[in-house]
Amino acid sequence: MKKKTLLAGFALLGALALTATGCASDSDATGDAGSGGDDGVVTVGFAQTGSESGWRSANTESMKEAFSAENGFELIFNAADNDTAAQIAAVRDFINQGVDAIVIAPIVEDGWDDVLQEAADAGIPVVLEDRTVSASDDLYASWVGLDFKKEGVMAGEWAAETFGDTPTKMVVLEGTTGSAPANDRAEGFDEAIEGTAIEKIDSQTGDFTRDGGKTVMEGFLQKYGADGIDLVYAHNDDMALGAIEAIEAAGAEPGVDIQIVSIDAVKDGMQALVDGKINFIVECNPLLGDLAAGLVLDVLDGKTVEKKVYVEDQTFTQEQAAEVIDSRPY
């Protein structure tokens, strides 16, 4: 399977002006479906996971800006509120409307075979964005996103280096169960800390939400006490921010009494890193819109595209975060 690495922020098409389209409740359209014909307008259905985090909001805005009317698109947008059945139903609706292409950020990896086959039978190309699926890769044209396992490895390498041979009790705030980032970030982190003195004493899903992270962390603190936890590994910043609230409510100091490593590098997470409440962050760049739009146009033009398009991630210490936080777009 081919791989292509592109730097974050690289614009495939100079013509893609960053002008956002509007959104109404869970679903909205910027035009009538099926207009990718004589007028040259490309109709795209985008099935988003929901709005569970700051990362997801930035990702949605990036997609809307890229697939805007000014750039020659008519976007039909649906956010499934992390309901897999609703997301699959939205994709079927896109097929029935006869859109020119479909972009999906799959909530979970499994269960996509049938609807992807339906899109293929209808002659509608599919581009996956952010998350992956377990279905055969001949059912979609391309995928653009981040290397979730590598993100987990980088987070785990920091933990292994920081704690070394020191006995360390760690709890994990998992992402949505069955999702590609949750699966891969767990696998990568576990590989990186193998053979160290870090012991994973508990792991539960917070569904990538701040409230979920806070609730799960409150449970961990009740069960083990602040003195019984040395490290929190959060699969995203929003859950880490929820954990910070729980730790402070328990009378402990996040970043000092309990260290935190997280993934995303959204603005609130980076600020917490600058403030010393998070200790290390691995980036997960949400600005995938231009790349996804470029892939859609290339596929519709009959061009050969890479099956996987990776965007590079960075890592941040407190000092590095302080240097860049004011200039970051998300």
Rounded to 10 degrees, the C-alpha dihedral 183/262/295/62 comes to 130
- Write the pLDDT tens digit of every residue in 272-307: 999 999 999 999 999 999 999 999 999 999 999 999
Please, which pLDDT band fits residue 185 given cuts at 50, 70 and 90? very high
Residue 55: what residue type?
W
Q: E-strand spans in 179-266? A: 198-205, 231-234, 259-264
Task: Give the helix/strand (H/E) hosting 208.
Answer: none
10 CB neighbour count, 10 Å cutoff = 12
Residue 38: what residue type?
D
Residues found in the chain? 330
d(CA 257, CA 274): 17
d(CA 90, CA 74): 16
Give the pLDDT confidence score for residue 7 in this predicted structure: 34
Task: Give the helix/strand (H/E) hosting 310.
Answer: strand 308-311
What does R_g of the chain's alpha carbons equal in angstroms? 20
d(CA 24, CA 235): 29
Mean local confidence (pLDDT), 166-190:
97
Give the pLDDT confidence score for residue 67 in this predicted structure: 98
Q: Which two tokens stand for residue 142?
A: 């391309």
Q: Say if domain 3-145+286-311 classifies as CATH 3.40.50.2300.
A: yes
**Whether the predicted pLDDT of 14 surpasses 60:** no
Give the pLDDT confidence score for residue 29 in this predicted structure: 37
Give the pLDDT confidence score for residue 34 in this predicted structure: 35
Task: Give the helix/strand (H/E) hosting 257.
Answer: none
**Whether the predicted pLDDT of 317 surpasses 80:** yes
Task: Give the helix/strand (H/E) hosting 151.
Answer: helix 148-163
How much is the pTM? 0.83
Q: What are phi and psi of 231, to 5 degrees?
A: -145, 140
- Write the pLDDT tens digit of every residue in 106-149: 999 999 999 999 999 999 999 999 999 999 999 999 999 999 99
Please, which pLDDT band fits residue 164 given cuts at 50, 70 and 90? confident
**Whether the predicted pLDDT of 321 surpasses 70:** yes
Give the pLDDT confidence score for residue 39 in this predicted structure: 73
Which residues have CB under 8 Å from 209's CB, separation 6+?
Answer: 52, 53, 238, 239, 242
**Whether the predicted pLDDT of 248 surpasses 60:** yes
Mean local confidence (pLDDT), 9-35:
34
Mean local confidence (pLDDT), 203-208:
97
> Which of 37, 36, 126 is CA-nearest to residue 74?
36
**Whether the predicted pLDDT of 27 surpasses 60:** no
Give the pLDDT confidence score for residue 121 in this predicted structure: 98
Q: Which two tokens stand for residue 143?
A: 């995928």
Please, which pLDDT band fits residue 3 given cuts at 50, 70 and 90? very low
Give the pLDDT confidence score for residue 312 in this predicted structure: 87
Please, which pLDDT band fits residue 329 given cuts at 50, 70 and 90? confident
Residue 3: what residue type?
K
Would 3-145+286-311 and 148-284 be classified into the same CATH topology? yes
Q: What are phi and psi of 16, to 5 degrees?
A: -80, 90
Question: Any idea what DSSP says for residue 254?
Answer: B
Give the pLDDT confidence score for residue 38 in this predicted structure: 54
Residue 161 exposed, middle or buried by CB count within 10 Å (0-12, 13-18, 19+): exposed
**Whether the predicted pLDDT of 6 surpasses 80:** no
- Write the pLDDT tens digit of every residue in 31-54: 333 335 457 899 999 999 999 888
Please, which pLDDT band fits residue 17 given cuts at 50, 70 and 90? very low
* CATH pick for 148-284 out of 3.30.70.920, 3.40.50.2300, 3.30.365.10, 3.60.15.10: 3.40.50.2300
Break the chain into its structural domains and give their ranges. Answer: 3-145+286-311, 148-284
Q: Which two tokens stand for residue 177?
A: 């169960």
**Whether the predicted pLDDT of 181 surpasses 50:** yes
Q: Which two tokens stand for residue 207?
A: 């569904």
d(CA 255, CA 276): 6
